[in-house]
Chains A and B, each alone.
Chain A
Amino acid sequence: MADKINIALAGNPNCGKTTLFNELTGSNGYVGNWPGVTVEKKMATWKANHDVTFVDLPGIYSLSPYSPEEVVSRDYVVNDRPDAVINLIDVTNLERNLYLTTQVLEAGRPAVVGLNMCDLLKERGDVIDSKKLSQMLGVPVVEVSALHNKNLDELVNASLDASKAGKPAEGVKCFSAEVESALQTIAGLIKDACPAELVRWYAIKVFERDAEAIQPLNLGKDVLASAEKAIKAIEDDRDDDSESIITSDRYDWIATVMDACVKKAPKKLTTSQKIDRIVTNRVLGLPIFAAIMILVYYIAISTIGTSWTDWVNDNLFSDGFFLSGQSQAAFDEAKEEWSSNHYADQIDGYLAAAEKAGVNTDGVADAIAAEEPTAEDEATIADFQAAAEKAKVVATDVPVHDDDGNFVDTDDEAITEETSDGEPVLAEGQELQVIDKVDAAGFAAALEGKAAEPDEHDFGSFVDSIPTAATNALEAAGTSDLVKGLVVDGVIGGVGSVLGFIPQIFVLFVMLCFLEDCGYMSRVAFVMDRVFRRFGLSGKSFIPMIVSSGCGVPGVLATKTIENERDRRMTAMLTTMIPCSAKLPIIALVMGVLAGGSDMWWVAPMFYFLGIVAIIVSAIMLKKTKPFEGEPVPFVMELPDYHFPSIRSWALHVWERVASYVKKAGTIIFAAAVGIWFLSNFGIAGWDGGDGAFGFLSGMEGVPENYMDYSILAGVGGALGWIFLPLGFGNWQATAASISALIAKENLVSTFGVLYGLGGATENSVSMWQGFAGMFTVAGTLHVGAMCAFVAFNMLCAPCFAAMGTIRRQMNSGWWTAFAIAYECVFGWVIGLFINQFYELVVFGSFGIWTVIAFVLLAAMLFQLFRPAPKWDKKDEKILDSLAEDVA
């Protein structure tokens, strides 16, 4: 066969279509979205013949014009004209499945019907006469089992034969006599306007007054008016609208088919019903749901998923790792012993004592810190040692520091309070841990000891991290610092932020796909619907929000399971407002400032609470705006039988989700990370002694440690700072930190470290708390409101690039992505404004124009929250309705 053949797979949700698709195609598929909607589009070629392409249409119950899934399906079948359509039917639910079949057979394409799950039917004791069924439907019928890969090739061959014959299915004469005659009349009117095989299809659409479907025919007013007469007569006769008459007649005809083709065994309680008796039980339903969600969360976010993700982040992208646990343990032991000697503290203490004693210490610290000491460095150190020994310098009571750079007490506990001079504040009975005495010999030993820091490579089986390996390779190749910085910090750093999430996403989707495939997700919606309907969302919005408290990326991806497009978009937009694990260091920073690390346990829950309230408030407000308004979505939903998904389908399902994340999100994050790297590493050399030239900052002569002050990012931060003035943090550092937090939220903390020259200080370091608090301190007063506004803004505003990339992929529309991100930023800004202005008003009594604006915005928000939902226009207005009025 030289020609390419397209075969569409149509069927109800849960009829086994995805399993069939996977069995036929393997995993060579393309997964994307249908143009303009968030509905998934899957295409792949047949394993047995790559000239045959299967298009997996979304699972639908009908070809009505009311959901995007149905519209893309019928547009594809009618307009894109696949060579054949395979309609897969779940025979355990034959009656409702045949309803879609009656419509598919009218669409003017060659069609074949596959009867799936016949084995289950036999177990039940029912018998189906497929020959008779084929006769009544007028198309070939093949019994298959998608799960056990039985007869699938026969099904495809039947469809290939049908496409070769090129004879479109005629559709069944399923309507009552008077409707059939009206359809004849309409067919006569429109037969010149459409292709012959679609006359019946369009006649029915005209009868149903489906304006959208008949749009392309451009029917004249007179044609529609005479059609209207025929329709009206039947409507009056049957006392029902035409759409309902069509639907009713289809089901009535199916009832006759059922009588003719199926012999039913007496009914028993199925396994599925037995499971449901417990799972959606009135008393046990909610606790079981909570238990399952906690389990999913626990495994994906707290344990396996996170430990894998941490492993990738810490080892592959940061420190490197040991292949054997033994070497790791040996190294850890050596390292611990090395740090317990506090060599650096001994050196610092001795230097300070020497300076006090009048010994020249200029350049000594730098010489000691040099990675590859020159002869000059060594001479400096030797001269100092000689001079200090002569002056008999002895340092006493040298305090020691932990890995966070904090003082420690005699119980090895970090001291989390310091005066503004950097002196530790001790509690009653607490004693500072010190080294009693460092003399000249001690100093020499410390120098030697410090240099002998255990090296991973000496412990065997050590693998360098990717950045280290890349740095080494680039250095060996002799590339410039610029290229090295771009590749290691920009590219690998950016890609690493994407790849680091994969283990978590993988673990999460292993579980979510199982819950989805086995049928539990629709029970979740059943159990939780009541709660979420109050905020204008459905029960299914709950799952993405739970997931987002771990990571927004899988959270946004999990919105896939929400059926309604408006809810899906809204949930994808709002779900990242829940604090994810990367935002925790920021919360820890605030806790440190406010409470000095003591147990102010309520601070962290407050931010989760803020996230939840933000989502509820946003959902209620947005529901009353144009893009999200509309009739409440019908919650008429099938609760499919439980079944254990085939491992293969399950695995492919997970693979699809993970692969699409890497592909789509990856490209955006990559570009953004490189962009931010450029902004923060390039700038004008404006420091003392700088030549004022533009270029790669760290590659320049005499670059200061806080070179970021001179970067473009600093300029951008300065230029944008005014936006945040009303929120109390208009300085460029806060703005620049917020921008760099877009790569990953935890960057906020490390950027502060760089901006304030704090080096490796962490969110648990007292010096970091002081630097952070200093940013919000004006004339010696700490403005807590401004600080909380800053944090609230960073919690609620645009998420990291990884999440934004995922939103872009999920929304499938640049406009919607821009809207989502803009909304998040504006909302975060307004909440920040409230916090700062109201705090200032209450605590300092300051009142200004921004206080007034804050009150006005609050009033507007409350109005939008509590006003009744506006009346929406009927979306399904029908052209024919208005025409009928014209005629009358």
Chain B
Amino acid sequence: MASLRDVKVGESCTVSKLTGAGAIKRRIMDMGLTKGTKVLVHKVAPLGDPIECTIRGYELSLRKDEAACIEVVDIAKE
């Protein structure tokens, strides 16, 4: 199963499931990353982590470790 961590810059995908628990999971969902959300990864920070992506019309940054908790499908070049 691919996670958001594996999605390359310039690719988009759809969230299929959130693993993990507690504060991190809730925080990710509060920010709008729920099942079925479309995500576009469009930047990596200068030191390689965190990543920046566009969801629900705004820019969100999250660490690669956190991106690993987000399972995605339909990865495609935008």
Contacts and interface: CB of A to CB of B under 8 A. Distances in A.
Interface in B22-69: 22-32, 34-37, 43-50, 52, 56-63, 65-66
A280 B45 contact: yes
A142 B66 CA distance: 37
A637 interface: yes
A251 B47 contact: no
A262 to B, nearest CB: 10
B31 A96 contact: yes
A746 interface: no
Contacts of A276: 43, 59
A631 B26 contact: no
B22 to A, nearest CB: 5
A66 B52 CA distance: 23
Given A95-B57, A96-B58, A876-B23, A530 B49 contact: yes
B7 interface: no
B18 interface: yes
Contacts of A635: 50, 61-63, 66
Interface stretch (A166-174, A242-250, A314-322, A670-678): A242-250
Contacts of A64: 26-27, 30
A280 B25 CA distance: 26
Nearest to A250: B34
A529 B34 contact: no
Interface in B1-35: 18, 21-32, 34-35
A247 B22 contact: no
B56 A248 contact: no
B30 A531 contact: no
Interface stretch (A282-290, A398-406, A410-418, A784-792): A282-290
Contacts of A193: none
A636 B45 contact: no
A92 B56 CA distance: 11
A64 B26 CA distance: 8
Given A244-B18, A529-B45, A95 B31 contact: no
B30 A62 contact: yes
* Residue of B18, B30, B58 contacting most chain A CB atoms (<10 Å): B30
B55 to A, nearest CB: 8
A66 B61 contact: no
B22 A638 contact: no
Interface in A632-659: 632, 634-641
Contacts of B48: 530
Given A66-B26, A638-B59, A876-B22, A248 B47 contact: no
Contacts of A530: 45, 47-50
B58 A631 contact: no
A646 B22 CA distance: 38
B32 A95 contact: yes
Contacts of B58: 93, 96, 638, 640
Contacts of A282: 43-46
Interface in A228-254: 240-241, 243-244, 247-248, 251-252
Nearest to A94: B57
A636 B27 contact: yes
A308 interface: no
A110 B28 CA distance: 29
Nearest to B23: A66
Given A631-B24, A876-B22, A527 B60 contact: no
A366 B34 CA distance: 85
A399 B24 CA distance: 74
A247 B45 contact: no
Nearest to B52: A639
Nearest to B46: A285
Nearest to A90: B58
A526 B62 contact: no
Contact of A637 (B22, B34, B60): B60
Contacts of A529: 45, 49-50, 63
Contact of A631 (B22, B29, B57, B59): B22
A268 interface: no
Nearest to A14: B58
A536 to B, nearest CB: 14
A639 B46 contact: no
Given A95-B57, A638-B60, A639-B59, A531 B47 contact: yes
A240 B45 CA distance: 32
B30 A286 contact: no
Nearest to A70: B30
Contacts of B34: 244, 247-248, 251-252
A829 B38 CA distance: 55
B47 to A, nearest CB: 4
A636 B57 contact: no
Given A244-B18, A280-B43, A99 B62 contact: no
A637 B47 contact: no
A504 B4 CA distance: 45
Contacts of A639: 52, 59-61
A99 B32 contact: yes
A531 B22 CA distance: 25
B28 A96 contact: no
B61 A96 contact: no
Given A96-B58, A526-B45, A874 B32 contact: no
A93 B31 CA distance: 12
Contacts of B36: 252
A99 B30 contact: yes
B25 A66 contact: no
Interface in A252-284: 252, 273, 276, 280-283
A634 B61 contact: no
A112 B71 CA distance: 37
A283 B45 CA distance: 9
Nearest to A633: B23
Given A64-B30, A96-B32, A251-B32, A526 B61 contact: yes
Contacts of B26: 62, 64, 66, 243-244, 247
B25 to A, nearest CB: 7
Contacts of A99: 30, 32
A462 interface: no
B25 A526 contact: no
Contacts of A632: 65
Given A95-B56, A281-B46, A876-B22, 15 more contacts: A62-B26, A66-B23, A93-B56, A96-B32, A247-B29, A285-B46, A525-B61, A527-B45, A631-B22, A636-B24, A636-B61, A638-B58, A638-B61, A639-B52, A639-B59
26 contacts: A64-B27, A66-B26, A92-B57, A99-B30, A243-B29, A244-B26, A244-B34, A247-B29, A247-B30, A248-B35, A251-B37, A252-B34, A273-B59, A276-B43, A276-B59, A280-B46, A282-B46, A529-B45, A529-B63, A634-B23, A634-B66, A636-B62, A638-B60, A638-B61, A639-B60, A876-B23
Which 8 A-B residue pairs are closest in the complex by CB-CB distance? Answer: A530-B47, A285-B46, A62-B30, A639-B59, A247-B29, A66-B23, A95-B56, A634-B27
Interface of B: 18, 21-32, 34-37, 43-50, 52, 56-63, 65-66
